[in-house]
Amino acid sequence: MSLLPEPDFGTPAADADGASPPLTLAIDGIEVVVPAGTSLMRAAALAGVAIPKLCATDCLQAVGACRLCLVEIDGRKGTPASCTTPAEAGMRVRTQSPRLTELRRNVMELTLSDHPLDCLTCAANGACELQDMAAAVGLREVRYGLAGAHHLADPRDDSNPYFGYDPAKCIVCFRCVRACDEQQGSFALTATGRGFATRIAAGTGGSFMDSDCVSCGACVAACPTATLIEKTARATGSAERAIATTCAYCGVGCGFLVEVDGPPDTPTIVRMTPSKQGQANRGHACVKGRFAWGYATHQDRVVRPMIRARITDPWREVSWDEALRHAAGEFRRIQREHGRDAVGAIVSSRCTNEEDYLVQKLVRAAFGNNNVDTCARVCHSPTGYGLGQTLGTSAGTQTFASVDKADVIVVIGANPGEAHPVFASRLKRRVRAGARLIVIDPRAIDLVDSPHVRADVHLQPRPGTNVAVLTALAHVIVTEGLLDEAFVAERCERQSFADWHNFVARPENSPEALQAASGVPAARVRAAARLYATADNAAIYYGLGVTEHAQGSTAVMAIANLAMATGNLGREGVGVNPLRGQNNVQGSCDMGSFPHELPGYRHVSDAATRTAFERAWGVDLLPTPGLRIPNMFDAALDGSFLGLYCQGEDPAQSDPDTRHVQAALAAMECVVVQDLFLNETARFAHVFLPGSSFLEKDGTFTNAERRISRVRRVMAPLAGMADWQVTLALAEALGYPMQYRHPSDIMDEIARLTPTFAGVSYEKLDRMGSLQWPCNDAAPAGTPTMHVGGFSSRPGGKGRFMIAQYVPSDEQTTSRHPLLLTTGRVLSQYNVGAQTRRTANVRFHAEDLLEIHPHDAEQRGIADGDWVGLESRAGATALRAEVTARVQPGVVYTTFHFPESGANIVTTDSSDWATNCPEYKVTAVQVRRLARPPARAGGAP
Amino acid sequence: MNAAHLIRMANRIGDFFVAMPDREQAVRDVADHIARTWEPRMTRDLRAHVAAHGDADLSAIVREALVRLPP
């Protein structure tokens, strides 16, 4: 139970289909109108009448177990449970009567007969539903005493780092079990025993840490007592207020309440609970957002500015003023000596929209060039290009809720269970309800085959061959008459469709012909194509396993082709849905952080757009593109790019071919790093400006649904300035002052200059909770579903098919490097781990491992847990092996969360043809068993 | 800038557009893509490399497109 609970209507809202008219009934004489299918309990809550309850909560389906919510209905016998009784027209319901009071007191008495009456010392004191219900029913004594059988001595399970389980306090309401089943879909909890002996158990009865529990916290949020409660809440007691904000981890963008106690600038965080009002997550969370926020106050935070003349010198703490003057002076010196274009900036998808906007403005207006790029370069830049070329808008087409209406779901190159867990829970819920699932992934990710979700078809391409598979799927759709010809005729360009049709219909693009390249049996491709194309509603979800390839942009366009060809766009349940890796990938792209685009994806060569910004900013803007991140590093090595402002990003760890990146950084004359911690890039920095966490500032993030949500300050910036203020101060030191009093002023400017954001303001965000762009006069409440009725950003409103020819990657296996390495993420760690490695999440995943197939392991004499050397043409590193059939023979896999394992030491400079997004997913490597742990590898014994 | 990188990037762009049925349009698209996404020093350095070492490392469509690029 939340210490500061949001309203709980007892049962979920009815799934109103619009076919049945609303019902009118009376609760305690109060008339109320509700949708058909609404429970009496919810109807009562809507009428302002609270019915006592214990097992019911509006996040979960009602089960009618606790018998506390009994009511009387005129003309009916008995006292039915209001949570499981649907409202009917004309019903007259009483929630209070002497008989109901007596029944409820008896229920409470029995419940409390096996509960420690230690309220004054209980962590949930004052925020306990059991306590509240005892008061509500007027319980004054428990006649049964505690002399009989009880569970008060049951041992506590504190194995989980974030929450404890105290079975002595458990009232066996099953809310935790149901939350795990219905919300999270892990089915990790169960009830053992029968009758009085019934107990809640994790897994088969061991500890939470040994079970399938993924620590999402749904059970903790659902628990009405202190049985399952956060350890921080145990330690700190009740919160006095809560601040609504948005998670700073993945691109789902969950809404949270930060519960705090103490002074406004330096509060103690009691806990973070997922908000039911969060329009992306609806009260659900994952182990990162829910629990892994301790990094914000970790002892490693650097909170004083520092400078040094050379990267070999020790750091020297200085004032903000000195640090900013030094940085600005160095940038101006470099420009004087090496030209205007010798400096630039990298912004982070972890920063807010307002911060990203400010940095690109600083680069364009103060530096006077377009050398600004975002870390979206190395993840979803192909999405921006590919969807822009085909559908006209560089963004996903749906809401997350849209998946609830999908009949066939395709997941390609994404592992949402690990990387987008809250959306994954929703997707799995839809699959459990009957939707068919196609997974296209070189690995057997959990969605392929887990206890409650199984893919109907798993296509397992060799890394680097997505386009071959997607084109083969298109071939089947075209040659087997599975096109939605009416959609294509009405909504798409005639000529580009004809060209694409002719191309994919060629025999060389058949599944049989492409099988040799992709390794995917043709029959499976045909089965997948038929399943996708014949569904009423089919939706494609994809991730970095699509974009981070030499043909990343081609694959995105091939996906858009499939959706257009089958008419799966422009309504709920369908669409093309990029799953963005970081919290604000979408936003950083929207904000003009790419070197060729001003905010709103408008090319710098567009004179009208440039003129609008020139007038607003009072400067002349360059009409030619700036350097992208990989180009910056190449230019640094040839001596023409020597100054970098790097905000919230760590390319020395996150970008491919580490040796090359580090050499480039070392060649620069002024690297300014603005971050929470002294990250890997800071090793090459001359100026360190302390960053602020998402808890320390106001702003907005835009998630993968194009949903703009507010980030609200919970505490004062530890270093005295929020990131947006630091950028303002740097701009001023550069001689280009910007006048903003608050991030809302920045958003107002964005709205004035960016048509898709024209209707966005903090006032409207506060009023509506969130907004999905485009939000303007044509769509004042935002746009949940894109391309309804037409592709409005395309010429003539017509979708454009693009020919997507498979071109083999330059990264091919050889006798020297006979395996293909692909990379990914785990649930508990986030990107380069700078945040999550500084939390107890290391208990779940403490090092990067190399997954290798048993066949390849046996050939090399490698056993599970052995140290292995991993070598590519770019470099070599070492880590421990995990022998598993999740990967196919010939393929190895690892994550990149720990700098000591250095996955990016081996990834190469191969990149997407259109955007330079690195080909992280395909690297030819060799793996050898090491006789002993390497001296440099982390986690070595 | 690193000529090998520039050549490789240019050829990969050519690999995409060479599949288009209208060759003339495909050449224009290669030139347009480079003009819209490459920072001027990249184009300048590629041209300088070609001037000094010839264009044998470039694919045919990229060679044609390079001529069309604005100065």
CA A590/CA A349 separation, integer angstroms = 11
Rounded to whole angstroms, what are the CA distances from A787 to A212, A379, A568, A703, B57?
A: 40, 24, 11, 18, 42
pLDDT value at residue A547:
96
Residues of A near B (CB-CB distance < 8 A)? 341, 370-371, 499, 502-503, 550, 553-554, 595-596, 603, 605, 624-628, 631, 634-635, 637-638, 640, 803, 805, 807, 810, 909, 911, 913-916
More reliable by pLDDT, A901 or B66:
B66
Examine the domain organization and report whether A561 and A536 are in the same domain: yes
Rounded to whole angstroms, what are the CA distances from B54 to A127, A540, B21, B31, B63?
A: 77, 45, 28, 18, 10
Confidence grade of residue A451 (pLDDT, cut at 50, 70, 90): confident
User: What are the residues whose beta carbons fall under 8 Å from the beta carbon of A666, sequence distance 6 or more?
Assistant: A311, A684
Does A805 sit within 8 Å of B16, measured CB to CB?
yes
User: B13: which chain A residues are within 8 Å (Cβ-Cβ)?
Assistant: 913-914
Whether residue A78 is contained in a domain is answered as no
Does A605 sit within 8 Å of B39, measured CB to CB?
no
Query: Is residue B33 within 8 angstroms of chain A, CB to CB?
Result: yes
User: B41: which chain A residues are within 8 Å (Cβ-Cβ)?
Assistant: 341, 635, 640
User: B37: which chain A residues are within 8 Å (Cβ-Cβ)?
Assistant: 596, 625, 628, 914-915
CA A346/CA A691 separation, integer angstroms = 14
SS3 state at A772:
strand
CA A194/CA A399 separation, integer angstroms = 42
Q: Is pLDDT at B62 greater than 90 in this prediction?
A: yes
Instruction: Report the alpha-carbon angle A881-A467-A827, nearest 5.
Output: 40
User: What are the residues whose beta carbons fall under 8 Å from the beta carbon of B6, sequence distance 6 or more?
Assistant: B42, B45, B46, B49
Examine the domain organization and report whether A863 and A922 are in the same domain: yes
pLDDT mean over A609-614? 98
Does A638 sit within 8 Å of B2, measured CB to CB?
yes
Q: Look at residues A468, A559, A502, A573 and name the one whose alpha carbon lies nearest to residue A805.
A: A468
Q: How far is B9 from chain A (nearest CA, A)?
A: 6
A634, two tokens: 């190449």
Does B9 sit within 8 Å of A916, measured CB to CB?
yes
Whether residue A571 is contained in a domain is answered as yes
Does B13 sit within 8 Å of A370, measured CB to CB?
no
Q: Is pLDDT at A940 greater than 80 in this prediction?
A: no
Whether residue A91 is contained in a domain is answered as no
Q: Can you tell me which residue has the tokens 């757009």?
A: A609
Indicate whether this complex's ipTM tops 0.95: yes
Structural Rg of chain B based on CA atoms: 11
User: What are the residues whose beta carbons fall under 8 Å from the beta carbon of A860, sequence distance 6 or more?
Assistant: A868, A927, A928, A929
The answer to whether A387 and A416 have CB atoms below 8 angstroms apart is no
pLDDT value at residue A788:
96
A224, two tokens: 């009405």
Does B39 sit within 8 Å of A810, measured CB to CB?
no
pLDDT value at residue A18:
67
CA A933/CA A29 separation, integer angstroms = 75
Confidence grade of residue A5 (pLDDT, cut at 50, 70, 90): low
pLDDT value at residue B3:
95
pLDDT value at residue A937:
41
Residues A300-325 as b/e (b if ≥16 CB within 10 A, e otherwise) read ebbebbbbbeeeeeebeebebeebbb
Q: Is pLDDT at A933 greater than 90 in this prediction?
A: no
Instruction: Please list the residues that pair with A258 across neighbouring strands.
Output: A243, A272
pLDDT value at residue A17:
67
Examine the domain organization and report whether A373 and A386 are in the same domain: no
pLDDT mean over A795-818? 96
User: B38: which chain A residues are within 8 Å (Cβ-Cβ)?
Assistant: 625, 631
Mean pLDDT of chain A, nearest integer: 95
Query: Is residue B25 within 8 angstroms of chain A, CB to CB?
Result: no
Instruction: Suggest the residue from B6, B11, B12, B18 to mutate for an interface test with chain A (most A CBs closer than 10 A).
Output: B12
Domain CATH number, residue A740 = 3.40.50.740
Q: Is pLDDT at B9 greater than 70 in this prediction?
A: yes
pLDDT value at residue A920:
93
Counted residue by residue, chain B has a size of 71
Nearest CA in chain A to B18: A805
Render B7-46 in DSSP notation, one character per residue: HHHHHHHHHHHTTSS-HHHHHHHHHHHHHHHS-HHHHHHH
CA A884/CA A850 separation, integer angstroms = 10
Examine the domain organization and report whether A559 and A616 are in the same domain: no
Examine the domain organization and report whether A845 and A734 are in the same domain: no
Q: Look at residues A665, A57, A121, A595 and name the one whose alpha carbon lies nearest to residue A347.
A: A595
Whether residue A106 is contained in a domain is answered as no
Q: Is pLDDT at A3 greater than 60 in this prediction?
A: no
Does B36 sit within 8 Å of A605, measured CB to CB?
yes
Does B37 sit within 8 Å of A596, measured CB to CB?
yes
pLDDT per position as a tens digit, A130-144 = 999 999 999 888 888
The answer to whether B71 and B48 have CB atoms below 8 angstroms apart is no
In B48-67, the residues whose Cβ lies within 8 Å of chain A are: none
pLDDT value at residue A938:
37
Q: Look at residues A257, A67, A233, A214 and name the one whose alpha carbon lies nearest to residue A166.
A: A233
Confidence grade of residue A205 (pLDDT, cut at 50, 70, 90): confident
Whether residue A811 is contained in a domain is answered as no
Domain CATH number, residue A920 = 2.40.40.20
More reliable by pLDDT, A933 or A642:
A642
Show the domain range for A916: 819-929
Query: Is residue B9 within 8 angstroms of chain A, CB to CB?
Result: yes
The answer to whether A583 and A350 have CB atoms below 8 angstroms apart is yes
Residue where a domain stops, chosen among A561, A578, A595: A578
CA A593/CA A412 separation, integer angstroms = 27
User: B19: which chain A residues are within 8 Å (Cβ-Cβ)?
Assistant: 503, 803, 805
User: What are the residues whose beta carbons fall under 8 Å from the beta carbon of A367, sequence distance 6 or more?
Assistant: A331, A335, A340, A343, A344, A345, A734
Q: How far is A56 from chain B (nearest CA, A)?
A: 56
Does A625 sit within 8 Å of B38, measured CB to CB?
yes
Residue where a domain stops, chosen among A578, A611, A640: A578
Confidence grade of residue A204 (pLDDT, cut at 50, 70, 90): confident
Q: Look at residues A232, A233, A274 and name the one whose alpha carbon lies nearest to residue A253.
A: A274
CA A238/CA A445 separation, integer angstroms = 40
Phi and psi at residue A91, to the nearest 5°? -60, 145
The answer to whether A257 and A278 have CB atoms below 8 angstroms apart is no
Nearest CA in chain A to B16: A805
Among B15, B21, B39, beta carbon nearest to A913: B15
pLDDT value at residue A936:
61
Q: How far is B48 from chain A (nearest CA, A)?
A: 14
Nearest CA in chain A to B33: A914
Residues B35-46 as b/e (b if ≥16 CB within 10 A, e otherwise) read bebbbbbbbebb
Does B40 sit within 8 Å of A624, measured CB to CB?
yes
The answer to whether A55 and A25 have CB atoms below 8 angstroms apart is no
Counted residue by residue, chain A has a size of 941
pLDDT mean over A50-61? 96
pLDDT value at residue A369:
98
Whether residue A88 is contained in a domain is answered as no
Does A631 sit within 8 Å of B42, measured CB to CB?
yes
Residue where a domain stops, chosen among A530, A548, A578: A578
Examine the domain organization and report whether A371 and A396 are in the same domain: no
- The rounded percent of chain A whose pLDDT value lies above 90 is 92
Whether residue A609 is contained in a domain is answered as yes
pLDDT per position as a tens digit, A537-563 = 999 999 999 999 999 999 999 999 999
Examine the domain organization and report whether A614 and A491 are in the same domain: no
Among A554, A596, A640, beta carbon nearest to B41: A640
Instruction: Suggest the residue from A912, A913, A916, A917 to mutate for an interface test with chain B (most B CBs closer than 10 A).
Output: A913
Q: Look at residues A334, A362, A356 and name the one whose alpha carbon lies nearest to residue A734.
A: A362
pLDDT mean over A670-692? 97
pLDDT per position as a tens digit, A389-399 = 999 999 999 99
The answer to whether A72 and A28 have CB atoms below 8 angstroms apart is no
Q: Is pLDDT at A174 greater than 70 in this prediction?
A: yes
Among B1, B20, B36, beta carbon nearest to A635: B1
CA A321/CA A307 separation, integer angstroms = 12
Does B1 sit within 8 Å of A370, measured CB to CB?
no
Q: Is pLDDT at A360 greater than 50 in this prediction?
A: yes
pLDDT value at residue B71:
80
CA A850/CA A823 separation, integer angstroms = 9
Domain count within chain A: 3
Does B36 sit within 8 Å of A625, measured CB to CB?
yes
A847, two tokens: 């090092």
CA A138 centroid distance within chain: 45
Q: How far is B22 from chain A (nearest CA, A)?
A: 9
User: A503: which chain B residues are within 8 Å (Cβ-Cβ)?
Assistant: 19, 21
Rounded to whole angstroms, what are the CA distances from A380 to A356, A439, A586, A812?
A: 16, 20, 9, 23
Q: Is pLDDT at A939 greater than 70 in this prediction?
A: no
Nearest CA in chain A to B2: A634
User: B16: which chain A residues are within 8 Å (Cβ-Cβ)?
Assistant: 553-554, 805, 807, 913-914
Q: Look at residues A809, A818, A808, A821 and name the one whose alpha carbon lies nearest to residue A656.
A: A821
Q: Look at residues A771, A772, A774 and name the one whose alpha carbon lies nearest to residue A762.
A: A771
Domain CATH number, residue A420 = 3.40.228.10
Q: Of A115-124, A743-752, A832-841, B58-67, which gets the smallest average pLDDT?
A: A115-124
Confidence grade of residue A260 (pLDDT, cut at 50, 70, 90): very high
The answer to whether B18 and B61 have CB atoms below 8 angstroms apart is yes
What's the sign of the alpha-carbon dihedral A426, A430, A433, A439? negative
Among B2, B36, B42, beta carbon nearest to A596: B36
User: B36: which chain A residues are within 8 Å (Cβ-Cβ)?
Assistant: 596, 603, 605, 625
Q: How far is B59 from chain A (nearest CA, A)?
A: 14
Instruction: Suggest the residue from B16, B20, B42 to mutate for an interface test with chain A (most A CBs closer than 10 A).
Output: B16
Whether residue A10 is contained in a domain is answered as no
Examine the domain organization and report whether A509 and A562 are in the same domain: yes
Does B8 sit within 8 Å of A624, measured CB to CB?
no
Rounded to whole angstroms, what are the CA distances from A530 to A427, A468, A498, A819?
A: 21, 17, 21, 32
Examine the domain organization and report whether A571 and A653 are in the same domain: no
More reliable by pLDDT, A796 or A1:
A796
Instruction: Please list the residues that pair with A927 across neighbouring strands.
Output: A870
Q: Which amino acid is at A49?
A: V
